[in-house]
Amino acid sequence: MATVLKAAPISQQIVDDLAKQCSLLKKDGCIPCLKVILIGEHAPSVIYTRNKKKFMESIGAECEIIKLAEDVSEENFLNTLKTQAKDKSVHGLFVQLPLPKHLSHIDVGQLVPPEKDVDGFHAQNLYKLMAGDKGENALLPCTPKGVMTMLKHAGVSLEGKSVAVIGRSLIVGKPLSLLMTNYNATVTMCHSKTSNLKQVTKSSDIIVAAIGRAKFINSEFLRSEGDQILIDVGINHDSDGILCGDIDQNDVENKCALITPVPGGVGKMTIVSLGQNLITAATNQLEK
């Protein structure tokens, strides 16, 4: 049986650390503050932002959700964003995606100042990642950062490892590939046009599935040694409507060494990474 690497114990330890750091920042007169701009009533977005607010408050930080109407004008939206970007009491800022159609041409990640970019999508933060940063100077995108945190807590070194990252999104696959390369892993960036996917996954020490297809990766993608590490970034629903990942967890559980579950795995770490980025951003801004 594979070791199931759950997020909860890792998360709890980090939450305790973040609460301590937050308390120290407050002693220095800095109350870490996150602002989230939420447009409209898109149900999952409402839940996500509420969870983020709860999490930030649980570590002692402030979090305000700024609600704008679904039909907010581009001008009003951009003005709201600019006001928050300039406000020195705001340390972290992001716009909850997806945007309504009439605003979807805006690349909001680029409008948040890089030092407040707790989502890690500003060009300047991603550039640092390209330039070799492991997160010392850049605010890292939350999901890739969460994956790295889990691997670190599991004692998995990336040095010299081969990794198949499946899914080339700007949110997960591409930044995670760069980050793992910076940690001396040899990464193959796979995607829907990869012609020899099973050959790549079988020859990889670590497989990261971030494609958004329910149970796509099964035991046919694994080698027979049972020594592989599987990271499941997917959050999907199967044909019975049950929450599942990109990996067919039942099928692989006896055929790998370690696996992150869904739910209770990488997904849970994203919000933890956001909290870490907020505390880092507040600390950096205090030091300036």
In this structure, are strands 162-166 and 92-95 parallel, antiparallel, or unpaired?
Answer: unpaired
Residue whose CB is less far from a second copy, 8 or 123: 123
Cβ at position 156, least distance to a second copy in Å: 15
Q: Which residues would be at the binding site for a second copy (CB under 8 A)?
A: 110, 123-124, 126-127, 130-132, 159-162, 168, 170, 174-175, 177-178, 181, 184, 186-191, 193-196, 199-200, 203
Q: How far apart are the first and last CA of the chain?
A: 50
Instruction: State the CB neighbour count (10 A cutoff) for residue 185.
Output: 21
Catalytic, 96? Answer: yes
Cβ at position 214, least distance to a second copy in Å: 23
Cβ at position 123, least distance to a second copy in Å: 3
Catalytic, 119? Answer: yes
Three-state SS letters, 18-77: HHHHHHHHHHCCCCCEEEEEEECCCHHHHHHHHHHHHHHHHCCCEEEEEEECCCCCHHHH
Residue whose CB is less far from a second copy, 80 or 284: 284
CA distance 185 to 181: 5
Residue whose CB is less far from a second copy, 12 or 124: 124
**Within a 13 Å sphere around the CA of 227, how many CA atoms are in the beta-carbon half?**
6
CA distance 87 to 60: 20
Of the listed 21, 84, 96, 249, which one is catalytic?
96
Residue whose CB is less far from a second copy, 96 or 125: 125
Of the listed 117, 119, 246, 248, which one is catalytic?
119
Which residues make beta-bridge pairs with 106?
Answer: none
Question: H/E element holding 246?
Answer: none
Cβ at position 173, least distance to a second copy in Å: 9
List active site positions.
52, 96, 119
